[in-house]
Amino acid sequence: NIKGFIFDLDGVLTDTAEFHYRSWQKLADEENLNFNRQINEQLRGVSRMQSLEIILAGQEVPTAQKKEWTDRKNEYYQEYLAELTKKNILDDMEAKLHQLKKAGYKLAVGSSSRNAKKVLKNLQISDLFDTISDGNSVERAKPAPDLFLHTAEVIGLEPAECVVLEDAESGVEAALAAGMIAVGIGPAERVGKAHLVYTSVSDIDFEEVLTKI
Ligand code: B16
Ligand code: MG
């Protein structure tokens, strides 16, 4: 019996992936690191430091240097966030959120991003959610189930009562590991392990989600 929905942020409610990409690219150009759009695809849903590890591909770098690089990347990213507005909400997600809320479902955000609260504030949808879990909420990032389990606990639901909407492979894995229903958004190669898959956010049909699972 489904009682709540947990939304990933980047790739589900908004598309900040392009801003993450440009910020990493700028850092990579400055520091002569190998980076491109293809490598960027692997960073979907992955935490900031883990993203740098993927870019470094085994190259050894002192911890202090890594910290300075991730901090700098985040400064570039925050410059983009300053320009983020309601217009950046993906498709009709806001209308869909209102419908679910009206129908009595609990709504939450479960994002790997430490900037999630700022992003939601700029999108002007923070108030729609019963709780917002982000990259600061738990230690172990997706694909560990911790973030989603923590979110369910805060809103007082059992894992099996929650549906997670995710665009990242690591996020789908986290939802499944948490014992929740996973709805994947994107190509089957990426989110095919989910219980139900939609190609894009605009295709999500919540009536169908609730009847099919
Ligand atoms: P930050 P999500 C994730 O957000 C992004 O998909 C991922 O590309 C990013 O590296 C991660 O947040 C961390 O973001 O640097 O802002 O802490 O998809 O889990 O909402
Ligand atoms: Mg995502």
pLDDT 10s digits, 140-196: 999 999 999 999 999 999 999 999 999 999 999 999 999 999 999 999 999 999 999
Assess contact for 168 and 200: CB atoms under 8 A. Answer: no
Looking at beta carbons, which pairs linking 71-77 to residues 24 or more positions away fall under 8 Å?
A: 72/27, 72/30, 73/23, 73/24, 73/26, 73/27, 73/48, 74/23, 74/48, 74/114, 74/115, 76/22, 76/23, 76/26, 76/27, 77/19, 77/20, 77/23, 77/115
Active site residue 8: yes
Q: Is the CB of 172 under 6 A from ligand 1?
A: no
pLDDT of residue 140: 95
> What's the predicted TM-score (pTM) here?
0.96
- CA 13 / ligand 2 centre spacing (Å): 9
For 22-58, the DSSP string reads: HHHHHHHHHHT----HHHHHTTTT--HHHHHHHHHTT
- The span from the CA of 72 to the CA of 123, in Å, is 24
Q: Residue 91 — pLDDT band, cuts 50, 70, 90? A: very high
Q: Is the CB of 112 under 6 A from ligand 1?
A: yes
Mean pLDDT of 98-127: 98
Q: Is the CB of 43 under 6 A from ligand 1?
A: yes
Active site residue 127: no
Catalytic residue among 10, 134, 146, 167: 10
Q: Is the CB of 10 under 6 A from ligand 1?
A: yes
Would the pLDDT of 50 be above 90? Answer: yes
Q: Residue 213 — pLDDT band, cuts 50, 70, 90? A: confident
Mutate to test the pocket of ligand 1, among 6, 113, 136 (most ligand atoms within 8 A of CB): 113
Residue closest via CA to ligand 1's atom 7 equals 45
- The bridge status of strand 106-110 relative to strand 196-198 is unpaired
Give the number of other Cβ atoms within 10 Å of residue 72's Cβ. 15
> Please, what is the average pLDDT of the chain?
97
pLDDT of residue 18: 92
pLDDT of residue 204: 97
133 strand-pairing partners: 110
- The span from the CA of 164 to the CA of 5, in Å, is 6
